[in-house]
Copies of this chain bind each other. A is one copy, B any other.
Amino acid sequence: MADASDLPTDSSPPAPQAPAPRERARYHHGDLAHALLGAVRELVERDGADRMSVSKACRMAGVSTAAPYKHFADRNDILRSLCDIGFDELRAAMQAAHDGVADPGEARVAEIGKAYVAFAAANPGLFRVMFGMKRELISPSDEDYGLEAKACFQVVIGDVAEASGLEPGSEPAMRLAIMLWTFVHGVSTLLIDGDYEVTEVPVNTDALVEAAARGLLQGGPPRAG
């Protein structure tokens, strides 16, 4: 009864017993882990992670409030599993953006950044859990937590080096990649939290990302840090 991280995205393998639509409410749900993650994901988007309750997810899945604890250690474990799914999807989206632009350069980096922002905009609740609940979700013991997040970061750093002309893997290239990630992450959080409203001017996030890619890639590497 651990983390169900062996249920990566959404592809349903043989599925021991597909939950037949109407066949006399069966005692065993058959695919509760997935069903719960789906319900929780919906709730996280609808109400936010803190208002999400396991009980509500149980009602949605049509099971008792004790059922989840046969599949997940606790509430946090459910959110942790949801994070795994989220990072997988984010990495896929970034990879797709990379694959969509043939020639290296600012444009490709910008597209990856836009994909990052688009993921956040499409999954604001999940995005907040993925990046904002680390301290609460991970126990100090598990070391290999940020693996999926690292995989996301890996997608960019090669392209950044290529687009900037810096030595791939060098520290300046790394710093530049960090700066671009920082900017794109800032766009994402300010966007989904509705904080751009205080500027009283419309904010075009795509244009913002493009401008940052242009400005930071051409401006050369940071001197230190």
Contact = CB atoms under 8 A, between A and B. Distances in A.
A2 interface: no
A135 B194 contact: yes
A193 B149 CA distance: 13
Chain A, interface size: which category?
35 or more
Interface string A95-126: 00000000000000000000000000000000
A153 B199 contact: yes
Interface string A178-216: 110111111101100111111111011111101110111
A193 B225 contact: no
Contacts of A131: 189-190, 193, 195
One complex includes copies of this chain to the number of: 2
A19 interface: no
A193 B50 contact: no
A150 interface: yes
A147 B205 CA distance: 23
A224 B207 contact: yes
A161 B223 CA distance: 24
Interface of A: 48-51, 128, 131-132, 134-136, 146, 149-150, 153, 171, 174-175, 178-179, 181-187, 189-190, 193-201, 203-208, 210-212, 214-216, 218-220, 222-225
9 contacts: A49-B50, A50-B50, A51-B136, A149-B198, A178-B196, A178-B203, A183-B212, A204-B224, A208-B225
Given A146-B197, A178-B208, A181-B190, 16 more contacts: A50-B50, A174-B199, A175-B211, A179-B215, A181-B186, A182-B183, A185-B186, A185-B189, A185-B195, A186-B189, A203-B225, A206-B225, A210-B225, A211-B223, A211-B225, A216-B216
